[in-house]
Amino acid sequence: MSHLAILLLAAGSSSRMAPQDKLLEQVAGEPLIALMCRRAALTGLPCYVTLPDANHPRVKWIGSTTAIYVPDATEGMAASIRAGIAALPDQIEAVMILPTDMPEIESQDLQHLAAHYHGMDGPILRASAADGTPGHPVLFPRRYFDALCTLSGDVGARAVLVNEPVKLVALPGQRAITDLDTPEAWANWRADGN
């Protein structure tokens, strides 16, 4: 399974949280980016994280995760995906892409999705909520890397997902669809006891 990597997307501007940085919000006593990098690293898989640049405040929180800098990060999520895919070593045969603003994703969720990967000829694997609502992370075999490198805009890998076979892999509760982009989303999530 070491030919599978995790790519955390953390190069975005967090504009809907301005002036706060959602990835520096505290969750379980540490910045969200630190928590998510640590959870990814606990899988034992190679972990990479996209960041705007080497001077960004998020950099000091990534631990052992390998940084990938995205000079055109203001373009949106596609720029992060393109840079992340382009930086992966040749021996990586599949990548699990995870936006870093998803605090309910646990190490075991990443391992659960990875356990469903059965080689480069398999389908795209997409985590879903327990009710089947598609979410994140999404695992792409290498044959999709070229398509991922042509993405544009701020809609992530949607253009690839709509045209290819995707197998949903259910995670507990709402973990796969809980992303926190706004002050209101953070307030509601915390009001629920998180």
Structural domain boundaries, residue 28: 4-191
Query: Distance (Å, rounded) from C-alpha 172 to C-alpha 15?
Result: 29
What are the tens digits of pLDDT across the range 3-58?
999 999 999 866 566 667 889 999 999 999 999 999 999 999 999 999 999 999 99
Query: Distance (Å, rounded) from C-alpha 51 to C-alpha 122?
Result: 30
What are the tens digits of pLDDT across the range 153-170?
777 787 788 888 899 999
What are the tens digits of pLDDT across the range 90-135?
999 999 999 999 999 999 999 999 999 998 889 999 999 999 999 9
Domain count, the chain: 1
CATH number of the domain enclosing 164? 3.90.550.10
Cα dihedral sign for 12, 17, 19, 22?
A: negative
Predicted model pTM? 0.94
